Amino acid sequence: MRRNRLGALLKGRRKERKQTLSDVGAALGLANGNFIGMVERGERMPSDERLLELAEILELDGRELMALKYAATRAEATEILLAPPEPALPRMRKLLLGTCDNLAPMRAEFERGERTALERVVWRALLEYVVLPAFDSDRYAPRRLKDRINKERKKNGVEGLDPWRFEEEAESFVPWAMGQFKGWRFDLPTLVLHIRHSDSAKDVSSIPLMDRELRARMLESAMPDPEARTPTLGDLLRKEGLTDADVDEILDLVEFKKLRAARAG
């Protein structure tokens, strides 16, 4: 019910302002109005951030829209609070999880947020090592998406690519992408992503998502400080100004007395 009320309000306001679905979609930076239409029909629920953007575009009270989104009975509210956040890019997440070889831990990590850091990292690696090279070489790549992505790459570089482009073109992009690689697995302890390009066990790319030097520095920083160890008797004697020869003599005498005490016991 709350989705219908929210959608009806958004649709009514859009009609009142004589804006098309494409107009609102363009204002959000989307290629078309498909997403807006799904929200109005109650088929999709926008993230809080997207909803506040819609409020600004349609000149509505963002608090009212948020209240409609979360308006519920006490039991329903509990379910909402305990449920994992809805993904910001549902069809891209479905693609990632549908090709994941260690699904259980990755699904648990992905469900921690609308778009988690790990999800972004995996998607960025697949984009860089699989999707974009295939775009450049495969003449059967989705033409409209390919043209838009190449245009954005020239303007903003790989880092500036909008992931919503792939979400919007999922109908043509996902079937094509599924033919570019077989699966992936992310090893959390080593932070290495393994991409299977074919059914051959040898046709795998292993991509460290953290370079060796940085990983070594992190491990080193996690190790106990050698200066923080408990000082030995030799350390204390040297601190008092004794020479190494004097220290060795005293340590030998201590060991001798310990050995004699052990024999006497």
Tokens representing 6? 């929210």
pLDDT of residue 202: 87
**Cβ-contact 183, 100 below 8 angstroms:** yes
Which has the higher per-residue pLDDT, 195 or 46?
195
pLDDT tens-digit profile of 116-127?
Answer: 888 988 998 899
Which has the higher per-residue pLDDT, 154 or 247?
154
pLDDT of residue 78: 53
- At which residue do the structure tokens 């792939």 appear? 166
pLDDT of residue 1: 42
- Contacts of 83-91 with C-beta under 8 Å, sequence gap 24+, read 84/111, 84/112, 85/47, 85/111, 85/112, 85/113, 85/114, 86/45, 86/47, 86/114, 87/114, 87/115, 88/47, 88/114, 88/115, 89/115, 89/163, 89/164, 89/166, 89/167, 90/167, 91/167, 91/170, 91/174
pLDDT tens-digit profile of 83-133?
Answer: 677 788 899 999 999 999 999 999 988 988 888 888 988 998 899 889 999
- At which residue do the structure tokens 């066990």 appear? 201
Answer whether residue 81 shows pLDDT above 70: no
| DSSP calls for 150-200 | HHHHHHH-GGG--THHHHHTHHHHHHHHHTT-SEEEEETTTTEEEEE-SSS
* Phi, psi of 43, rounded to the nearest 5 degrees: -85, -20
Q: What percent of the chain has pLDDT over 90?
A: 32
CA atoms within 13 A on the CB side of 172: 10
pLDDT tens-digit profile of 199-223?
Answer: 888 899 998 876 655 555 545 554 5
pLDDT of residue 2: 43
